[in-house]
Amino acid sequence: EIVMTQSPATLSVSPGERATLSCRASQSVSSNLAWYQQRPGQAPRLLIYGAFTRATGIPARFSGSGSGTDFTLTISSLQSEDFAVYYCQQYNNWPRSFGQGTKLEIK
Amino acid sequence: QVQLVESGGGVVQPGRSLRLSCAASGFTFSSYAMNWVRQAPGKGLEWVAVISNDGTNKYYADFLEGRFTISRDNFKNTLYLVINSLRAEDTAVYYCARGMNGFDIWGQGTMVTVSS
């Protein structure tokens, strides 16, 4: 099983600033990597797939990069609604696997 | 609109079985692979299983030990998950989610609590 490791566990950032979240795979997943946002009490929402392609309706301030084992989600100018938990997920191998999540909180 | 609605959760005694359902609407259900993902209280997301669009292929998480069975009825536009021999550690919100490569539509989840 591919283990996905996200860092940091918690990230404190001020509104309007940039946030950078990391995800590392225990072996190469090529570009088969997705990012999700989960707000409290809500289901996850797909943000990015294919490592860098924004899902339908996702604002341009969200961007993804990386390939192989190292990936980054960048939120360029944080809005109040962006403070949430973010998960990466690989879909290169079975079983599919998620990272443990990064909580983005208001500084 | 495109929607997934889970049902079938509740409080269940250890060792019993449960069938969860996920009703799809607003899209051609038979064209999409479907997944179950669970989330224990205060914990992260855990992928459980996937079934191909026509139901012929299924994959499961390694930890399930054969207790879980995913299935679908494309005439009823419904996805199912049967969990046998329920354990306390199965307590979680169970989500259904659409897609094979990135899950683009999620239901609101159904809570399963395993307790005597």
Residues 6+ apart with CB under 8 A from B107: A43, B3, B4, B5, B6, B22, B95, B96, B97
Average pLDDT over residues B67-82: 97
Omega cis (within 30) before A40: no
CB A4 within 8 A of CB A98: yes
| pLDDT band, residue A62 (cuts 50/70/90) | very high
Inform me whether the pLDDT recorded for B63 exceeds 90. Answer: no
pLDDT of residue B12: 97
- The residue written with tokens 């943000």 in the block is A47
Residue A49 sits at the chain B interface (C-beta within 8 Å): yes
Q: Which residue of A has its CA nearest to B44?
A: A100
CB contact under 8 A, A95 and B47: yes
Residue B57: the pLDDT is 96
Please report the residues numbered 5 through 64 in chain B whose beta carbons come closer than 8 angstroms to any beta carbon of chain A: 35, 37, 44-47, 50, 59-62
pLDDT score of B65: 79
Q: How many CB atoms lie within 10 A of CB A103?
A: 15
Give CB contacts under 8 A, 24+ apart, made by B59-63: B59/A94, B59/A95, B60/A95, B61/A95, B62/A1, B62/A95
**Separation between Cα atoms, residue B22 and residue B24, nearest integer Å:** 6
Pairing state of beta strands B34-39 and B92-98? antiparallel
Instruction: Mark yes or no for CB contact A38/B45 under 8 Å.
Output: yes
Question: Rounded CA gap, B72 and A64, in Å?
Answer: 33
State which residue of chain A sits closest to B101, comparing Cα positions: A91
Does A45 touch chain B if contact means CB atoms closer than 8 Å? yes
- The percentage of residues in chain A with a pLDDT greater than 70, rounded to a whole number, is 100
Tell me if chain B has a CB within 8 Å of the CB of A1: yes
Q: What is the pLDDT of residue A61?
A: 97
